[in-house]
Structure 1
């Protein structure tokens, strides 16, 4: 990044309105109701089919394959909930919220209100230390300051966090369920539609555990839950971690203008239609951050416009392969643990 790439807080720039006009004139901010009608219907059908297969297979270790398939269908629910949270599906906030509550709380056991608040703060301050909640993922250290503050077992994890990162992702879904429950029951923290969230969340937990422990023997049920939720956590990590980790981290006094802040801290992932579907459109992370309300299917069309605009204005635009992105993520995590592995080294 060039020395003048980041501008002081409050400095104005006319470049984003220019880009926004190009995107708007191309019709890329218009809703895509038929796309989402098809996508939601297909995803709900796949979700229901996965549970039907689960019941038909019965008490068998073959259910571990069902667990893997369910991790995929659950994450596809998550992608649609993400789109609803960004108001991409309907023109009304109410319609998007209803979809979000149904997919998140009822379908996934994830508080839509908790996630929306957290994700909104991430979009406003991507990779801004102290402001982006996605940088605060204990015990992992994404910055030198976090590594320096680590203590005890956490410090030993940071020491080898590059090797431990993917195994730690197996716990991510459990962590999100716990945080969702904590936010719903904590009346000192504001949350919209708390009663509705609590009811839908409870129905999910009771139905999920009830079906699993009715169909499977206790031991098989526990293993199934661990595999299903573990793979779901890894899928979540594979969808979100490559987008920002290892990109420049900003401080409060070093925030860029909106265009630079969103482009310089994000990374796109190469790939065709399969990657688009597998990552829920999040492989177009730069375009998504610049235009968070843009419907998912329009991101592919917006990419060449944004990339050309960045080239014309000499703004670094990062795009790499999935393997390349993970190489950068793990390399960054390895670097953050260097001082702990080699204390006193220059």
Structure 2
């Protein structure tokens, strides 16, 4: 439980309301159904792949499996936060099966990265999700950028969606690289599962399809997977306030002020895995995702009582805000280019 859950803190009072509403209870029935449906979709996708053989309809299968891989990533996310199982052992086992073996993404690498993100969301020095890589997330980062980030940063708002088509590949490469990192636990197991996935995946493609079609399937599948993941995660924090240096509000404000909710119905919840309720997820990471919609009402009312800004927008507007932030962050590079 976060340190802010101390007696008398703002977060403690909110937690009391959430717990009284029964929203921290596990939902085994929901997750049994969800895991079954996602597993069936995964099996159906690969069954269609084998049945079709050499056919251009394989590209439709690639799109479908890109979405299924995104849903598997959401399951791995919920496992990592112990929303499904309360104990670490089953959560890690399930996470490695779904993540490493299922989609070729290291559970240990992602867990380390995501834990640091949750502890310090949108902190430019502490949150790995807003540290400069190819993209820059603030004008200060833009001024310090060199090489490829300096070039991409000038046009990063326009390039953002095209770059997302490579995000699936980036996750695979980052997962393999992480096997050398000192923080990685069970690296032999992680590596064995990752390379089993890669071997089975590539063998299926190149044994069933001719080389050209296999490469097309590979790119379409990974591109859809990457864009789908970006559509799930990027609207949650991009364009929200960032922190630097010693800036560290209390737990409740740190999570609420740096997060954005995306309005929508149950279809939005399904497609975004409940992470459209990002404020509630950051406040209560182990809360089962089907409870986040109900928690939203309680959290929003409580923030109004405290006078804490609670930002919520539609999906299209969330992307507008994120892309506007990217344009603003890259402004110093465009000015330099004109000079």
User: Are 1:269 and 2:262 counterparts?
Assistant: yes
Superposition pairs of residues 225-304 of structure 1, within 5 angstroms? 225-304=218-297
- Cα pair 1:13 1:257 within 8 Å, conserved: no
Superposition pairs of residues 1-346 of structure 1, within 5 angstroms? 14-184=9-179, 186=180, 188-343=181-336
Unpaired segments of 5 or more residues in structure 2?
A: none
- Cα pair 1:59 1:215 within 8 Å, conserved: yes
> Residue deviations 1:146-179, cap 9 Å, x none?
1111123321210011000110111111111001
Cα distance, 1:344 vs structure 2: 9.9
- Cα pair 1:12 1:257 within 8 Å, conserved: no
- Cα pair 2:280 2:295 within 8 Å, conserved: yes
| Range 144-153 or range 243-252, more displaced | 144-153
Secondary structure, aligned partner of 1:167: helix
> Residue deviations 1:49-105, cap 9 Å, x none?
000001111112221111110011111100000000001001211111111011000
Unpaired segments of 5 or more residues in structure 1?
A: 1-8
Stretches of 4+ moved more than 6 A in 1? none
CA distance, structure 1, for counterparts of residue 47 and residue 234 of structure 2: 32
Secondary structure, aligned partner of 1:29: coil
Secondary structure, aligned partner of 1:127: coil
The TM-score, its normalising length taken from structure 2, stands at 0.96
CA distance, structure 2, for counterparts of residue 342 and residue 124 of structure 1: 34
Cα distance, 1:195 vs structure 2: 2.0
CA distance, structure 2, for counterparts of residue 74 and residue 236 of structure 1: 9
- Counting matched residue pairs gives 334
Aligned pair in 2 of structure 1 residues 106, 344: CA closer, same or farther (>3 Å)? closer
Cα distance, 1:205 vs structure 2: 0.7
Q: Hey, what does 1:3 align to over in structure 2?
A: none
Cα distance, 1:190 vs structure 2: 2.5
The TM-score, its normalising length taken from structure 1, stands at 0.94
- Cα pair 1:126 1:265 within 8 Å, conserved: yes
Cα distance, 1:137 vs structure 2: 4.8
Q: RMSD between aligned alpha carbons?
A: 1.7
